[in-house]
A and B are shown apart, each in its own frame.
Chain A
């Protein structure tokens, strides 16, 4: 079975600072996608960023970037210049075929 581990249940960061959320996974697949989703207090799950496993270049989306280490099966999310609106649950979710497997989530609090 493929497993996903987010080792930080809760984190906090000061506004405007940088924070990194960790994610490791276990799979025997070679080609897949990885996603980070954000779930703010409104509960709507929103895609933050997507990475293709066969691409060596790390994905970047504005203030969000990933550090993808395929051999280590690690997929961390870096949020730069944190904003109050970044306060949310963050889920790491690799996709194998049509299926997503979710980590347990990291609750991020951005403090003013």
Chain B
């Protein structure tokens, strides 16, 4: 089974702090994704990566950056956390070819106070 893990289930940070969310997948997938989930808005794509050191902006990249130094690990960085970044963050991975099915991590609920 594909396993995608995220470093924290719950995280509380203060405004202005730098925040790192880590995601690791164990299936040698080429593609990795970071989403933000808010009620009524579904999942919105922040960034994705299709290869090591490669990254592409999604629909809502402002205020975020990412890092992919190894194939299995994809990090989301909030350079200076703000209260409007309080949300659920989901990481996913998928194979480079095929149906596009994505496998998700358990999510990190981030609260910025």
| A contact residues vs B (CB 8 Å cutoff) | 4, 6, 9, 32-33, 35, 37, 42-45, 47, 50, 52, 91, 95-100, 102-105
**Among residues 63 to 113 in chain B, which have CB atoms less than 8 Å away from a CB atom of chain A?**
88, 90, 92, 94, 96, 99-102, 104, 106-107, 109
Provide the residues of chain A in CB contact with B88, threshold 8 Å: 43
**Provided the pairs A45-B90, A52-B99 are in contact, do residues A98 and B31 lie with their beta carbons within 8 angstroms?**
yes
Q: Are A98 and B43 in contact (CB under 8 A)?
A: no
Give the bracket for the number of chain B residues in contact with chain A.
Answer: 20 to 34
Q: Are A33 and B99 in contact (CB under 8 A)?
A: yes
Q: Are B94 and A98 in contact (CB under 8 A)?
A: yes
**Provided the pairs A91-B43, A104-B42 are in contact, do residues A99 and B107 lie with their beta carbons within 8 angstroms?**
no
Provide the residues of chain A in CB contact with B42, threshold 8 Å: 4, 6, 91, 102-105
Provide the residues of chain B in CB contact with A99, threshold 8 Å: 45, 48, 100
Q: How far is the CA of A82 from the CA of B102 in the complex (A)?
A: 25
Q: How far is the CB of A99 from chain B (nearest CB, A)?
A: 7
In chain A, what residue has the closest Cβ to B38? A104
Q: How far is the CA of A52 from the CA of B99 in the complex (A)?
A: 8
Q: Are B104 and A50 in contact (CB under 8 A)?
A: no
In chain A, what residue has the closest Cβ to B94? A98
Q: How far is the CA of A33 from the CA of B42 in the complex (A)?
A: 19
Q: How far is the CB of A103 from chain B (nearest CB, A)?
A: 6
Provide the residues of chain A in CB contact with B106, threshold 8 Å: 42-44
Q: Are B99 and A50 in contact (CB under 8 A)?
A: yes
Kindly identify which residue among A6, A43, A47, A98 contacts B107, using a CB–CB cutoff of 8 Å.
A43
Interface string of B24-42 (1 = CB under 8 A from A): 0000000100000000111
Q: How far is the CB of B50 from chain A (nearest CB, A)?
A: 7
Q: Are A35 and B101 in contact (CB under 8 A)?
A: yes
Provide the residues of chain A in CB contact with B45, threshold 8 Å: 99
In chain A, what residue has the closest Cβ to B31? A98
**Among residues 1 to 52 in chain B, which have CB atoms less than 8 Å away from a CB atom of chain A?**
31, 40-45, 48, 50
Q: How far is the CA of A47 from the CA of B100 in the complex (A)?
A: 12
Q: How far is the CB of B47 from chain A (nearest CB, A)?
A: 12
In chain B, what residue has the closest Cβ to A104? B42
